[in-house]
Chain A
């Protein structure tokens, strides 16, 4: 069904011969965006989770992305060589670099940065010119993740999305600017331009819909419904006070009603623009009927080919399109006799040095950055090692943050949230204030320092672990495990809540359930934490970086793992 061969053709010709990375560069360059021949009569382009990366950046894919229960070893829970093998991607190629962490530093230096709205805009225009009437869908997490997005309350991204030509959008981190700000953009900037849709957001009082649940767009004479699914656990994973009057959730019943209503109005194809996360989408696809394709995001899984899920009325194609602007999903549907009869899907890596900048978008980016140029460029330290975030248990940039928190707050233990966004820096790079903001730019940046008992620490770790490793995807929230500094522990992801965490130790001594420990953290979600305030994380870490001047490669504090040996969701010799 997928034209994997077609997708890879031209990418791998040199690499299959076993040529090293450097030699494949020239061979692959010219043809990367050639085999994009359109198919069918309905074209949909999909971006998601760009996390406000207007300029090209680097993003190291995870070397640990475990699936539990029936999800073990299945997409998206494949990393490194297991992922390449499963999807038939030749190692050492440009494509392998886009989808894996393998040999990251060297490959990143050869293939350059990825994404960036000016380069993406060029590619979008090219794809659109081949696909008259094609829509551009944005799965959300577009307004958050950079200094300029935070400082402009998302306005830079709102303007960039309009210029890029986004047609339909749903959201998650957008809501952390507050309900009023979201409505201001949706009813103002987006009015008549971008449809912001979400079938699963309602008012807490009378359950009235806050946004349109779906839109029907006519493409080449064919009515196509796009149904919106915002991140179901926004008020839980992020502070509820931002959306106090709204309620979210997966809302299967109302989704089914929206799909049925769209079909009833004549939609011949139904696509769910989803911020559920891929595991939730896979389960949802088996239970809700009438959806042809789920274009998914949230979990930041760059999945080269979709999964096809059977349900009682047919089957649904499920995709996930990665993050940071690295990819654009290209979906071509053949619609005939009132239904989807065939399709092609490609998740195209966006290599900045293979695409010229679109002048209009480049000008917009320059304009929004200009007032902040000096602040952004401020050098803070130089890194000796690779700094990245993504992975189930820890990343080197998070370790840096943990080290900084413990040092600056004089704490014996530190916690840092398991966010999946955040760019990657190469050894030797100067860490600027902008880079630090790419790891920390949130609207609830308060640093906390608390006295917690060993029992409470255990409860927190168990709670977060269950949000990640509950075998039922509907109980997962899609982040990674809280990063832990100072304290050692062991974890069995396959166990049940209350039994996953063990061997908690500090300085070689077992953690005492009744003893209190000083724990530093940031990004608290409670009302109390907001009222208490606290220093912003970027101020604390900036102080630490300036003090250190040179950052030695951080020594990752990783838990001892049990129950996952041989799992293809964890790379052999890698954190």
Chain B
């Protein structure tokens, strides 16, 4: 992410998932939604509002997006393994977002045609949070979430 975008994201305390995706360049200038970009989109507080402001619908909750190798409780918040597989046909990109990180967007992977839409990465988490896997396929958006706990540790068994 370039510095300008980082500043934009930091200034928008209520930034939600899809405004970030727009900011990350997922919605390029040629996209209808991006063309209608305005300040309102960055001021929205929920995913629904964001999509509305972007001129699109809410991303569809999808069971065809599967997390793997992603812990329920992180062993180390500094390196949390995340694996995502999209079983949605024509998956074009997969974004990884950490709801409660100062900058939600952790990574965007472009999936070239003919590539298996499966990724494995590591993210940093400051606190317990939902991890979102956001998939763009055939120009539509799909999402799945997994709750990952970051705990103080100790006191076991």
* A233→B73 contact, CB < 8 A: yes
User: How far is the CB of B122 from the nearest CB of chain A, in Å?
Assistant: 10
* B156→A477 contact, CB < 8 A: yes
* A460→B152 contact, CB < 8 A: yes
Q: Interface digits, B61-101 against A, CB 8 Å rule (1 contact, 0 not)? A: 00000001101111110000100000000000000000000
**In the complex, A469 has a CB within 8 A of chain B:** no
The number of inter-chain residue pairs (CB within 8 angstroms) is 82
* B73→A479 contact, CB < 8 A: no
**In the complex, B151 has a CB within 8 A of chain A:** yes
> A467 to B156, alpha carbons, bound, how many Å?
9
* B76→A235 contact, CB < 8 A: yes
> A247 to B71, alpha carbons, bound, how many Å?
10
* B157→A419 contact, CB < 8 A: yes
Chain B residues whose C-beta falls within 8 Å of the C-beta of A500 in the assembled complex: none
**In the complex, B153 has a CB within 8 A of chain A:** yes
**In the complex, B155 has a CB within 8 A of chain A:** yes
* A238→B156 contact, CB < 8 A: yes
Q: A253-B68, A474-B72 are in contact. Are A479 and B152 (CB under 8 A)?
A: no
* B154→A523 contact, CB < 8 A: yes
Chain B residues whose C-beta falls within 8 Å of the C-beta of A173 in the assembled complex: 157
Interface centre among B75, B128, B152, B155 (most CB of A within 10 A): B155
User: How far is the CB of B69 from the nearest CB of chain A, in Å?
Assistant: 8
Q: A253-B68, A475-B149 are in contact. Are A248 and B75 (CB under 8 A)?
A: yes
Q: Interface digits, A390-429 against B, CB 8 Å rule (1 contact, 0 not)? A: 0000000000000000000000000001111100000000
User: How far is the CB of B60 from the nearest CB of chain A, in Å?
Assistant: 24
* B157→A141 contact, CB < 8 A: yes
Chain A residues whose C-beta falls within 8 Å of the C-beta of B73 in the assembled complex: 233, 236, 475, 477
Q: How large is the interface on B (under 10, 10 to 19, 20 to 34, 35 or more residues)?
A: 10 to 19
> A45 to B69, alpha carbons, bound, how many Å?
33
> A231 to B69, alpha carbons, bound, how many Å?
17
User: How far is the CB of B100 from the nearest CB of chain A, in Å?
Assistant: 13
* A172→B155 contact, CB < 8 A: no
* B154→A524 contact, CB < 8 A: yes
Q: A253-B68, A463-B151 are in contact. Are A479 and B156 (CB under 8 A)?
A: yes
**In the complex, A478 has a CB within 8 A of chain B:** yes
* B75→A237 contact, CB < 8 A: no
Chain B residues whose C-beta falls within 8 Å of the C-beta of A240 in the assembled complex: 75-76, 153
CB-CB contacts below 8 Å: A449-495 with B? 459-460, 463-464, 466-467, 472, 474-475, 477-480, 482
Which of A248, A253, A464, A472 makes the CB contact (< 8 A) with B155?
Answer: A464
Chain B residues whose C-beta falls within 8 Å of the C-beta of A238 in the assembled complex: 154, 156
Which of A250, A420, A524, A526 makes the CB contact (< 8 A) with B157?
Answer: A420
> A231 to B157, alpha carbons, bound, how many Å?
10
* A237→B153 contact, CB < 8 A: yes
**In the complex, A178 has a CB within 8 A of chain B:** no
* B72→A250 contact, CB < 8 A: yes
* A237→B155 contact, CB < 8 A: yes
**In the complex, A249 has a CB within 8 A of chain B:** yes
> A55 to B128, alpha carbons, bound, how many Å?
43
* A477→B72 contact, CB < 8 A: no
> A247 to B157, alpha carbons, bound, how many Å?
18
User: How far is the CB of B126 from the nearest CB of chain A, in Å?
Assistant: 13
**In the complex, A389 has a CB within 8 A of chain B:** no
* B152→A478 contact, CB < 8 A: no
**In the complex, A298 has a CB within 8 A of chain B:** yes
* B152→A237 contact, CB < 8 A: no
* B72→A478 contact, CB < 8 A: no
* A418→B75 contact, CB < 8 A: no
* B151→A236 contact, CB < 8 A: yes
User: How far is the CB of B128 from the nearest CB of chain A, in Å?
Assistant: 8
Chain A residues whose C-beta falls within 8 Å of the C-beta of B156 in the assembled complex: 231, 233-234, 236-238, 467, 477-479
> Which residue of chain B lies nearest to A481 when distances are taken between CB atoms in the complex?
B155
User: How far is the CB of A212 from the nearest CB of chain B, in Å?
Assistant: 20
Q: A463-B151, A463-B152, A467-B151 are in contact. Are A249 and B157 (CB under 8 A)?
A: no
Q: A236-B75, A467-B151 are in contact. Are A477 and B157 (CB under 8 A)?
A: yes
Q: A463-B152, A467-B151, A475-B149 are in contact. Are A237 and B157 (CB under 8 A)?
A: yes
**In the complex, A308 has a CB within 8 A of chain B:** no
CB-CB contacts below 8 Å: A140-186 with B? 141, 172-173
19 pairs from A and B in contact (CB 8 Å cutoff): A233-B156, A236-B73, A237-B156, A238-B156, A247-B81, A253-B68, A419-B155, A419-B157, A464-B152, A464-B155, A467-B156, A474-B72, A475-B72, A475-B73, A477-B155, A478-B157, A479-B155, A523-B154, A524-B154
Name A's B-contacting residues (CB within 8 A). 141, 172-173, 231, 233-238, 240, 247-250, 253, 277, 298-300, 417-421, 459-460, 463-464, 466-467, 472, 474-475, 477-480, 482, 497, 523-526
Beyond contacts A240-B153, A249-B71, A421-B157: 9 other A-B pairs, Cβ-Cβ < 8 A, are A141-B157, A231-B156, A249-B72, A253-B69, A419-B155, A475-B72, A478-B156, A478-B157, A479-B155
Report, nearest first, the 6 A-B pairs whose CB atoms are least far apart: A237-B156, A417-B155, A474-B72, A525-B154, A235-B75, A479-B156
Name B's A-contacting residues (CB within 8 A). 68-69, 71-76, 81, 128, 149, 151-157
